[in-house]
Amino acid sequence: MEKEAIVVPKGVVIFREGEEGRFMYLIHKGKVKISRRGEEIVTLGKGDFFGDLGLLTGQPRVADAIAEEDCELILVDESVFDEIIKSSPALSIRMMRKLAYRLRKMYEIMDKVGAKFKEEEKDKEEPLPKGVSAWLELEGSDVRFPIEKKVTFIGRKDLSSNFVPHVDLTEYDKKRFVSRRHARIIFKDGAFFIKEEIGVLNGTFLNNRRLSTGFLYELKDGDKITLGRISLSFRQKNSSP
């Protein structure tokens, strides 16, 4: 049951969380990093496999897979997978053990993400340090949105949950391209960062570069932030020495 390997250069994204998963991959050569929302789960090497959950469940990918080295990967579809399982009980047991290990690692990552979320929730009403001044300017207008908290949410009103973001774009986004909880600006370690929230449909762009969900991107004075079709300029005034 020979399968031709595909070559994947170092740094190439094999798949992203949320994408459709039709294949499982066997690593014939190289290393692949599996991560979820910025947190590394595991790095896999020769003889390992990944993408099995998508193949088995038919559901979208639950993590990102990126080539850490130049790789040779063997694609396994559903029919080939069934044949492998039937012909090799030992491989079936090995796969179950690896799946159990990954599930345990996933729980550990979830605990870390939950702890981070709690920390950000605690900070969301905490004011910026004295002397730090920042705001957002709506492109093509004189509208300003002050940034006054360590965590500043950007989006639209959600009447069902009584959620009103600090930067409320409801009035300026008549066609609803901006998600209700679209992004947040976070002040930490003396700098500002932007992070796209999970579930955003129309993307978040920083200086015309699309952001990956869940990652922090540092903001500089004058940066252009685009949410859907709404553009804002990030402005920061340095405190006097």
Domain boundary among 96, 121, 146: 121
Shared domain for 190 and 155, answered yes or no, is: yes
Do 137 and 233 fall within a single domain?
Answer: yes
Question: Do 138 and 219 fall within a single domain?
Answer: yes
Give the pLDDT of the chain (241 residues) as one tens digit per residue: 445 679 999 999 999 888 887 888 989 999 999 887 777 888 999 988 898 877 877 778 888 999 999 999 988 888 888 777 778 777 778 777 877 776 776 677 666 655 555 555 555 578 999 989 999 999 999 999 999 999 999 999 987 778 899 999 999 998 889 999 999 999 999 999 999 988 788 889 999 999 888 889 999 999 999 998 999 999 998 644 3
- What is the per-residue pLDDT for 116? 58
Q: Count other C-beta atoms under 10 Å from residue 183's C-beta.
A: 25
Q: Is residue 147 part of a domain?
A: yes
Residue 89 lies in a domain: yes
In a domain, 200, yes or no: yes
Residue 126 lies in a domain: no
Q: Is 137 part of any domain?
A: yes
Whether 141 and 81 share a structural domain: no
Residue 128 lies in a domain: no
Q: In CATH, what number is assigned to the domain containing residue 189? A: 2.60.200.20
**Same domain for 203 and 175:** yes
Residues 117 and 140 in one domain: no
Owning domain of residue 15: 5-121
Integer CA distances (angstroms), 228 to 86, 136, 184, 208, in order: 48, 16, 15, 12
Residues 114 and 166 in one domain: no
Cα 175 to Cα 139, 163, 167, 229: the distances in Å are: 17, 19, 17, 9
